[in-house]
Amino acid sequence: MKKPGKRAGEPSRAGNDRSTGQTTRYHHGDLSGALLSAARFILDRDGVSALGLRPVTRAAGVSHTAAAHHFGDLAGLLSELAATGLDELRAAIISAAGTPRLIAEAYVFYALRHPHMFELMFRSDLIDRTSPRYRNAASALFAMLAGSPEVSDHDGQKETDGYDSQDAARYTAAWGLVHGIAVLATDGRLDPLISRLREPMSREDLVRQAILSVPPFL
Amino acid sequence: MKKPGKRAGEPSRAGNDRSTGQTTRYHHGDLSGALLSAARFILDRDGVSALGLRPVTRAAGVSHTAAAHHFGDLAGLLSELAATGLDELRAAIISAAGTPRLIAEAYVFYALRHPHMFELMFRSDLIDRTSPRYRNAASALFAMLAGSPEVSDHDGQKETDGYDSQDAARYTAAWGLVHGIAVLATDGRLDPLISRLREPMSREDLVRQAILSVPPFL
DNA sequence: AAACAAATCTTTCCACTGGAAAGACATCCG
DNA sequence: CGGATGTCTTTCCAGTGGAAAGATTTGTTT
């Protein structure tokens, strides 16, 4: 019943590879990396909904179950991909470091430059937030936005009581503001408003003005 | 090749109905309504990801293609469902009418009370935003949040030049703030922060304080 | 070097999805 | 009564993610 088949071909080569003249071996060498870059390519081009297990593995030239060994399941793969996005966002914020206003702009503009990645980063239904890779990237990013809770020095041993209520409230408001603007802008929710503007304005200009219109960011 | 089959049964009854003793007729009578309430029930209980064509139709006791005639496709059904959510949100805002701060709270608290519906309302990949029902509900809601652009009276005939830039910026910021807080809160993104709070606080309290921490809402 | 163990990828299969196409049934309208 | 029309069902199809087991390469141990 089982055909060992494998139509006649070079015995030491496995998959037919596309575009490159490289001979694809049975063991890919760096399949997880290849899958991640294939996924990134598809994400940027076709959006989150195109990030299937089969499309991605097909683009990498392997069978659709090949990813399981490296990432467990689709959510595992997407979690790592999303984590790289969180790292990119954090890097963008760091390089724009300075005033809160610049940080806010960096957050929103990253989303505008990478709308699909930004969407993926917060699609909790697609990713596994408990994945270590994602957890670390997420807490690193949000620690940068909020700062760490103050540490009190008790007899030389440092310990923290956690965030102050007012700080937490301000942090929530700030994050909510930039995140909300980013979500609305990347989802095209502001376009009806933009099209009814007295004098024309780009998305970028509108969100910049919006950030500037909030007193703490002035 | 085709078996007219239909195993022996009562000739004038079509589907086996569940729970109720009602005899389900071939023509349902109000299938679109039944599908919408079944979808709403599933949405509230199991979340957006459970909103499949087959689960919903199954719950309504009809075949999985029965919805096509009424809604076209799944996106059509979900668009109508999301539109009812937009209407609910608008109603909540109206009933809380008054200060901008109360409007902001109404927006966020509706999301906290109906997190799955709130998610669906803004899942552009699942719904058809060009659907008339959704379009109307959306513009009605957002017109209420932003108000209409000022009308200038030119010789008795009213006309509008569109929104002023500053108004649009403030509107974007306000909407972004409440929307962002709602998204982050309903998605559990604030929970790590809450758990590290010095004195314990509920989600509701945190978002309320967050809104209050923004000067325009004071 | 040979034998064995472990890692990596493929094949095959399964349950599930949304939708197209066509048939069956009910109701309305002349 | 007799279509015509609207409504629902049956059947089929191309997809999806993943489980299970086989094939193949690499590493490890003797």
**C-beta of residue A206 within 8 angstroms of C-beta of residue A194:** yes
Looking at chain B, the whole-number percentage of residues with pLDDT higher than 90 is 75
- Final residue of a domain: which of A22, A44, A72? A72
Going by C-beta distance under 8 Å and a sequence separation of 6 or more, which residues neighbour residue A79?
Answer: A71, A127, A128, A129, A131, A133, A134
Label residue A197 left, alpha or beta by phi (over 0 means left) and psi (-120 to 50 means alpha): beta
Checking if the pLDDT of B11 tops 80, the result is no
Selecting from A49, A184, A199 the residue whose C-beta is nearest the C-beta of B175 gives A184
Q: Are residues A173 and A197 in the same domain?
A: yes
Interchain contact A204–B (C-beta under 8 A): no
Instruction: Return the residue of B nearest to A201 by Cα.
Output: B165
pLDDT given at position B4:
32
Whole-number Å distance, CA A2 to C1' C1? 33
pLDDT given at position B148:
72
- C-alpha separations of A17 from A24, A35, B192 in Å: 6, 14, 45
pLDDT digits (tens, 9 = 90+) for A49-92: 999 999 999 999 999 999 999 999 999 999 999 999 999 999 99
pLDDT given at position B18:
36
Number of cross-chain residue pairs from A and B with Cβ atoms under 8 Å apart: 169
Checking if the pLDDT of A122 tops 70, the result is yes
Residue B2 lies in a domain: no
Dihedral angle, C-alpha A114, A115, A117, A122, nearest 10 °:
140
pLDDT given at position B36:
98
Residue B5 lies in a domain: no
Looking at chain B, the whole-number percentage of residues with pLDDT higher than 70 is 87
- C-alpha separations of A49 from A7, A64, A66, B207 in Å: 35, 17, 20, 31
Residue B16 lies in a domain: no
Q: Residue B188: how many CA atoms within 13 Å on its side-chain side? A: 6
Whole-angstrom Cα distance, residue A169 to residue B194?
10
- Final residue of a domain: which of B72, B87, B107? B72
- Alpha carbon A31 to its chain centroid, in Å, reads 20
Give the structural domain span for B103.
73-217
Q: Are residues B143 and B162 in the same domain?
A: yes
Residue A168 to residue B201, Cβ atoms within 8 A: yes
Res. A41 pLDDT band, cuts 50 70 90? very high
Whole-angstrom Cα distance, residue B181 to residue B179?
5
Cβ neighbours of A194 in B, within 8 Å: 168
Total count of domains within chain A: 2
Kindly tell me the sign of the dihedral angle through the C-alpha atoms of B30, B33, B37, B42: positive
pLDDT given at position B151:
74
Q: Are residues A133 and A92 in the same domain?
A: yes
CATH number at residue A46: 1.10.10
Residue B210 to residue A173, Cβ atoms within 8 A: yes
Q: Are residues B68 and B96 in the same domain?
A: no
Q: Are residues A68 and A87 in the same domain?
A: no
Checking if the pLDDT of A195 tops 80, the result is yes
pLDDT given at position B20:
39
pLDDT digits (tens, 9 = 90+) for B45-77: 999 999 999 999 999 999 999 999 999 999 999
Q: Are residues B54 and B79 in the same domain?
A: no
Checking if the pLDDT of B119 tops 50, the result is yes
Q: Are residues B173 and B80 in the same domain?
A: yes
Residue B19 lies in a domain: no
Tell me the nearest-neighbour CA distance from B218 into chain A, angstroms: 12
Checking if the pLDDT of B139 tops 80, the result is yes
Residue for token digits 């933009």? A194
**C-beta of residue A77 within 8 angstroms of C-beta of residue A56:** yes
Give rounded-to-5 percent helix, strand, coil for chain B: 60, 5, 35
Q: Are residues B84 and B57 in the same domain?
A: no
Q: Are residues B36 and B121 in the same domain?
A: no
Whole-angstrom Cα distance, residue A199 to residue B165?
7
Checking if the pLDDT of B203 tops 50, the result is yes
Q: Are residues B35 and B130 in the same domain?
A: no
Tell me the nearest-neighbour CA distance from B80 into chain A, angstroms: 18
pLDDT given at position A174:
97
Sequence-ordered alpha helix ranges (H) in A96-202: 100-113, 115-121, 132-146, 165-186, 191-195
| Average pLDDT, rounded, for chain A | 88
Cβ within 8 Å of A, B 175-194: 175-184, 187-190, 192-194
pLDDT given at position B9:
26
Tokens of B162: 């569109």
Q: Are residues A147 and A97 in the same domain?
A: yes
pLDDT given at position A157:
80
Tokens of B213: 């921490």
Task: Specify the 3-state DSSP secondary structure of B152.
Answer: strand
Nearest to B122 by CA among A115, A180, A46: A180
Nucleotide nearest to A53 (CA to C1'): D17
Backbone angles phi, psi at B14, to 5 degrees: -110, -75
Tell me the nearest-neighbour CA distance from A10 into chain B, angstroms: 44
Q: Are residues A66 and A88 in the same domain?
A: no
Checking if the pLDDT of B22 tops 50, the result is no
pLDDT given at position A206:
98
Interchain contact B149–A (C-beta under 8 A): yes
Cβ neighbours of B189 in A, within 8 Å: 122
Cβ neighbours of A162 in B, within 8 Å: 196-198
Q: Which amino acid is at B10?
A: E
Checking if the pLDDT of B16 tops 60, the result is no
Res. B32 pLDDT band, cuts 50 70 90? very high
pLDDT digits (tens, 9 = 90+) for A90-99: 999 999 978 9
Residue B139 lies in a domain: yes
Residue B8 lies in a domain: no
Residue for token digits 């569109």? B162
Nucleotide nearest to A68 (CA to C1'): D18
Q: Which nucleotides along chain D are within 7 A of a protein C-beta?
A: 6-12, 15-26
pLDDT digits (tens, 9 = 90+) for A141-165: 998 888 777 777 777 787 778 899 9
Tell me the nearest-neighbour CA distance from B108 into chain A, angstroms: 11
Residue B149 to residue A173, Cβ atoms within 8 A: no
pLDDT digits (tens, 9 = 90+) for B84-107: 999 999 999 999 978 999 999 999
Whole-number Å distance, CA B38 to C1' C17? 19
Whole-angstrom Cα distance, residue A21 to residue A19?
7
